């Protein structure tokens, strides 16, 4: 004989049928998502129908109605000389039968196990033990038990990061000479790549910064014994320099900073 029934919540239905026999309304219990509900505040019983105050959320077999028949005292007591009614005898017998059926749902140990909430765990049957919500302490978690699959998207913020816990190796393109900058909203904006001995030069608001070679400021003139200018330099031969982004001597860049100093038109 069944002692419980499960349903799939859909976020709309509030009423669910009790399909198993029971003696008293108080013997019928309900759980949603493994969390035991409270009669009157969470649900009510009328005949063989349980009505929830709030429709259980969508889920597979997440709504469970089950019987928990108490056997601390008999349903009916008899006194010397009193009439013995068949209904009373039958109810006392059903009380024991129901309790025995329910006991089959759990693995009985020397101390005995009953269904219901057990601090962090709720026992619904021998094959249905659930961990209650917000009940696992940090000390109960195994080392390395949380991986990428267990982290919800956008769930780790700055408050969860230890100081100095993020280095170049953890950044996209995080190698020596790379730099991540931020725009006014605090979002990552540009990644500029440079080498040892170079320095970062701003190209104005909204433009990606760039690295300049040799550690010399924009506008520095150097002697160089070569037929072509070194990386990051132009020949001082009178060529026109764009007042902004453009191409000069086969180099495409933003020449605003150099133009402002040299003023070659």
Q: Residue 215 phi/psi, 5° resolution? A: 70, 15
Q: What is the pLDDT of residue 49?
A: 97
Is it the case that residue 114 has pLDDT exceeding 70? no
Mean pLDDT of all residues in the chain? 80
Whether residue 55 is found in the same domain as residue 174: no
pLDDT tens-digit profile of 165-212?
876 666 655 444 455 554 545 444 454 555 555 556 666 666 666 666
Residue 36 belongs to some domain of the structure: yes
Band (pLDDT 50/70/90 cuts) for residue 109 is very low
Inter-residue contact 189 to 181 (CB < 8 Å): yes
Q: Which domain holds residue 215?
A: 168-262
Whether residue 205 is found in the same domain as residue 118: no
Whether residue 8 is found in the same domain as residue 70: yes
Tokens, residue 260: 């402002």
Per-residue pLDDT, averaged over 83-88, amounts to 90
Q: What is the pLDDT of residue 173?
A: 52
Whether residue 113 is found in the same domain as residue 192: no
Whether residue 117 is found in the same domain as residue 234: no
Inter-residue contact 69 to 88 (CB < 8 Å): no
Whether residue 15 is found in the same domain as residue 121: yes
Residue 139 belongs to some domain of the structure: no
Is it the case that residue 156 has pLDDT exceeding 80? yes
Whether residue 107 is found in the same domain as residue 28: yes
Whether residue 50 is found in the same domain as residue 124: yes
Q: What is the pLDDT of residue 65?
A: 95
Residue 239 belongs to some domain of the structure: yes
Lookup result for tokens 């979002």: 187
Is it the case that residue 58 has pLDDT exceeding 60? yes
Inter-residue contact 236 to 221 (CB < 8 Å): yes
The domain total for the chain is 2
pLDDT tens-digit profile of 60-73?
999 999 999 998 89
């Amino acid at each position: 004989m069944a002692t419980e029934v499960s349903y799939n919540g859909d976020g709309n239905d509030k009423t669910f049928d009790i399909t198993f026999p029971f003696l008293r309304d108080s013997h019928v219990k309900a759980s949603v998502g493994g969390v035991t509900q409270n009669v009157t505040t969470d649900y009510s019983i009328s005949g063989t129908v349980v009505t929830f105050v709030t429709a259980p959320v969508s889920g597979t077999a997440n709504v469970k109605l089950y019987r928990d028949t108490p056997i601390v005292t008999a349903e009916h007591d008899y006194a010397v000389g009193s009439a013995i009614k068949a209904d009373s005898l039958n109810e006392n017998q059903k009380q024991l039968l129901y309790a025995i059926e329910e006991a089959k749902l759990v693995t009985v140990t020397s101390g005995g196990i009953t269904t219901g909430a057990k601090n962090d765990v709720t026992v619904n049957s021998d094959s249905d033990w659930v961990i209650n919500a917000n009940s696992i302490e940090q000390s109960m978690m195994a080392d390395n038990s949380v991986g990428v699959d267990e982290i919800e998207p956008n769930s780790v913020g700055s408050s969860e990061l230890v100081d100095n816990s993020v280095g170049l190796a953890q950044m996209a393109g995080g190698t020596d000479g790379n730099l991540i900058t931020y725009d006014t909203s605090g979002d990552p904006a540009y990644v500029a790549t440079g080498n040892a001995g170079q320095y970062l030069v701003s190209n104005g608001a909204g433009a990606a910064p760039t690295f300049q070679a040799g550690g010399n400021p924009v506008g520095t003139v150097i002697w160089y014994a070569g037929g072509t200018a070194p990386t990051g330099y132009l020949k001082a031969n009178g060529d026109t320099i764009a007042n902004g982004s453009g191409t000069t001597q086969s180099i495409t860049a933003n020449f605003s900073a150099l133009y402002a100093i040299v003023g070659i038109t």
